[in-house]
Amino acid sequence: MAQVLIAENDRVWKDLLSEILSEEHELVFWQQGGNEPGILEEKLFDVAIIDKGLNGSNGSKLLEDIKKASPETVVIMTSEGDDAKEVVEAMRKGAFDYVIKPFSPEKIRKSIEQGLENRALRFEIDYLRRNQDVVYDLNKIIAESPAMKQIIHMIERVAKTESTVLMTGETGTGKSFLGGSVHFNSKRAKSPFIKINCANMPDTLLDSEFFGHEKGAFTGATKRRIGRFEQGNGGTVFLDEIGEISPMLQAKLLRVLEEREFERVGGNKTIKVDVRIIAATNRALSEEIDKGRFREDLYYRINVLNIHLPPLRERREDIVLLAEYFLDKHCRNLRKKLTGFTEDALEMFRNYDWPGNIRQLSNMVERAVLLADDSAVGVQNVALGTFPKRTKSPLEAGSSQPEGTPPEKMRSLVDNERQLVLDALEKNLWIQKDAAEDLGISRRVLNYKIKKLGITHPRWRKNV
């Protein structure tokens, strides 16, 4: 039941509105000459129905007062005339609808219903946006490992720019989530964040998904469709698995990146958009370029800022913290109360290589919560397939390690060295001579470290 304020001069219309609405809503009638401002201060109205000619021309003034006191109140103006200027003026001042007399009971009921639905939708959008701000709070992202701390720091810097971002990393490492973190910590945060999964979709469907289509553009196109780039105007478009798109669509995407314009499928009208692109892939695009499957010019256009996400096996400090986060999340969703994990289960997590990364961890914990009968999740609830011994990372396998040195410590040293070299190369635009000077070493030593650490870059003619 909504609180409805009725401001109407004519007794006939006042009685009619009372008859139409009194059973479904609580009505308050505007008393002219009384303590008019006090009513607005004391009572919050969901809907206000105001006659434009109230007490001469005070309907517009009351509209302004209501919107000032309660911007979320749905205001419906009524009038005997349909002067276009008056309608435009009322809508500009915040009226939701302008109903011309005589109106039917169905018309006024429908206007109220639509106004309240519109308001509820705005409340929901605001709620979701506020929740997203919490979800994408960089201070709440689990990042105890040095590699992830560096990535969070990089995201903080990247979010302040308008540059295109390429996120790379294995499947399940959190590229989509961190792409959202870039958007929701940027100045575009209140604009749309549009995700498009480019994998396993035919060209015709993906073309329409990107750019929309006109009616009759192809079989089944029974009406115009607005594409995702157009929907994301003013915001950010996240292209997941960009390495999967065909050369034809790559050419169209390159045009969008360079000129910020496109045409719908089957259309000839050029559409301008203002979007930021964040792309993600689990493929080595430099290898795809060598094989002729990815355009080199598109690669350089999307790889303005690169963020590489390490696999979970290279950020073991985060595994237990992530498992506890997912345990709390899935317990809430499944309405179960568990105290945590047994020490044996946590030891399994620490020593497993997690080929599916964070996504696999989340799915495993959800299954464990479903199966757990005791107060804590134990080994018997954990399904990891064949439980492998922890394998050395490529960096560890290729490095000399003094006997007795803990593997975790050696891996940390190698990771830190690799990150220092990468930072110097990126800072100096991948020019080895300048990077070597920045690091205080000779170019020959840097070349040796690049080979040892397996660092490559597509701009180099061959792997150094």
pLDDT at 386 over 80: no
Q: What are phi and psi of 82, to 5 degrees?
A: -125, 45
Per-residue DSSP letter, 265:
B
Q: What are phi and psi of 303, to 5 degrees?
A: -95, 45
Which H or E run contains 195? strand 193-197
pLDDT at 342 over 90: yes
Taking residue 60's Cβ as centre, other Cβ atoms within 10 Å add up to 18
| Cβ contacts of 170-174, under 8 Å, gap ≥ 24 | 170/282, 170/309, 170/311, 170/357, 171/282, 171/356, 171/357, 171/359, 172/312, 172/356, 172/357, 172/358, 172/359, 172/360, 173/309, 173/310, 173/311, 173/312, 173/357, 173/358, 174/309, 174/357, 174/358
The two three-digit tokens of residue 455, written as one number: 């660092």
Between 122-136, 184-198, 214-228, the lowest mean confidence (pLDDT) is in: 122-136
If pLDDT is split at 50, 70 and 90, which confidence band does 159 have?
A: very high
Q: What are phi and psi of 271, to 5 degrees?
A: -110, 125
Q: Average pLDDT, stretch 147-169?
A: 95
Q: What is the pLDDT of residue 408?
A: 47
Query: Percent of the chain having pLDDT more than 90?
Result: 53
pLDDT at 280 over 50: yes
The two three-digit tokens of residue 266, written as one number: 């089957």
The two three-digit tokens of residue 249, written as one number: 């669509």
More confident residue, 320 or 407: 320
State if pTM tops 0.85: no
If pLDDT is split at 50, 70 and 90, which confidence band does 168 have?
A: very high
Between 220-234, 253-267, 350-364, 410-424, the lowest mean confidence (pLDDT) is in: 410-424
Between 6-20, 317-331, 393-407, the lowest mean confidence (pLDDT) is in: 393-407
More confident residue, 461 or 157: 157
Cα-based torsion angle of the residue sequence 254, 256, 260, 266 in order, rounded to the nearest 10 degrees: 140
pLDDT, tens digit, 9 for 90 and up, residues 186-197:
999 988 999 999
Between 263-267, 356-360, 365-369, 407-411, the lowest mean confidence (pLDDT) is in: 407-411
Q: What is the pLDDT of residue 393?
A: 40
Strands (E), 336-462: 340-341, 376-377
**What average pLDDT does the chain have?**
85
pLDDT, tens digit, 9 for 90 and up, residues 199-216:
878 887 899 999 999 988
49 and 6 Cβ atoms separated by less than 8 Å: yes
If pLDDT is split at 50, 70 and 90, which confidence band does 132 have?
A: low
Query: Percent of the chain having pLDDT more than 70?
Result: 87
Residues paired with 97 in a beta bridge: 76
pLDDT, tens digit, 9 for 90 and up, residues 432-444:
887 887 787 877 7
Domains of the chain from N-terminus onward: 3-128 (3.40.50.2300), 139-308 (3.40.50.300), 312-381 (1.10.8.60), 394-453 (1.10.10)
The alpha-carbon radius of gyration of the chain (Å, integer) is 30
More confident residue, 383 or 375: 375
Q: What is the pLDDT of residue 403?
A: 46
Q: What is the pLDDT of residue 155?
A: 95
Helix axes 146-159, 175-184, angle to 10 degrees: 40
Q: Average pLDDT, stretch 164-181?
A: 95
225-226 and 212-213 beta bridge pairing: antiparallel
More confident residue, 112 or 396: 112
Q: Average pLDDT, stretch 100-109?
A: 92
Q: Average pLDDT, stretch 39-60?
A: 80
pLDDT, tens digit, 9 for 90 and up, residues 257-270:
999 999 999 988 88
Strand, helix or coil for residue 75: strand
Q: What is the pLDDT of residue 417?
A: 76
The residues, ordered by sequence, that sit 6+ positions from 20 with a Cβ below 8 Å of its Cβ are: 105, 108, 109
- Give 293: exposed, middle or buried? Use CB within 10 Å, 0-12, 13-18, 19+: middle
